[in-house]
Structure formats: structure tokens, C-alpha cells
Amino acid sequence: MSQKRKIISVDHLEKLANLKIGAKEKAKIGPQLEKTLQYFDILDQIPDLDKEKPTFQVTKNINIVAKDKANSCLAKEKILPDKKKFFTINND
């Protein structure tokens, strides 16, 4: 289980992601990438981790969308009190 991790450089990441990363960003991203990979090293040390089922939904929310309800509408007269102002029909 103690596999030696390959070193991933920011330059390699830049090439894989097809991005242009400036020198300042590379200096910032490098340590962040290393820290992230260290967390994966910790996870690799858990015994029998490959036997665990993947978790895709951690909150177990099912159908969190409210159901549609029909409500009363406003009357046309209230919305458009002056019909001539908004609608004109030419029957020539």
C-alpha cells in the first residue's frame, strides 16, 4: 500500500489543463498542490479503503425541490387597466 507518489509539477499541470499559468500563480499553486496531494497520501494509509463504497451524496437529500402549486392569478383588468394602451388590433 505504500506506493511512492510521483511528483507532479505545476508545469505538468499547466500542460495537462491546457492553461497559461504565470510565475506568481505557479509559486502560489505549487505549495497548494503539494498540500492537497499530502491529504491523498493520508487517505492511502487507511487499510482496506478500496473495499468501501464511494460516496457521491453525503447529505442523503432526496427530492429537495418543492412541489408546484397552482395559485390564483391577478385579473387582467388589474394588470392591464387600459387595454388600448398596450394592445392595438388593426382589422383593415
Query: pTM of the entire structure?
Result: 0.48
In the DSSP assignment, the letter for residue 61 is -
How far, in whole angstroms, is CA 54 from its chain's centroid?
19
Mean pLDDT by 10 residues, the chain (92 residues): 69 91 92 90 88 80 80 80 64 62
Cβ-based burial of 33 (10 A; exposed 0-12, middle 13-18, buried ≥19)? middle
SS3 51: helix
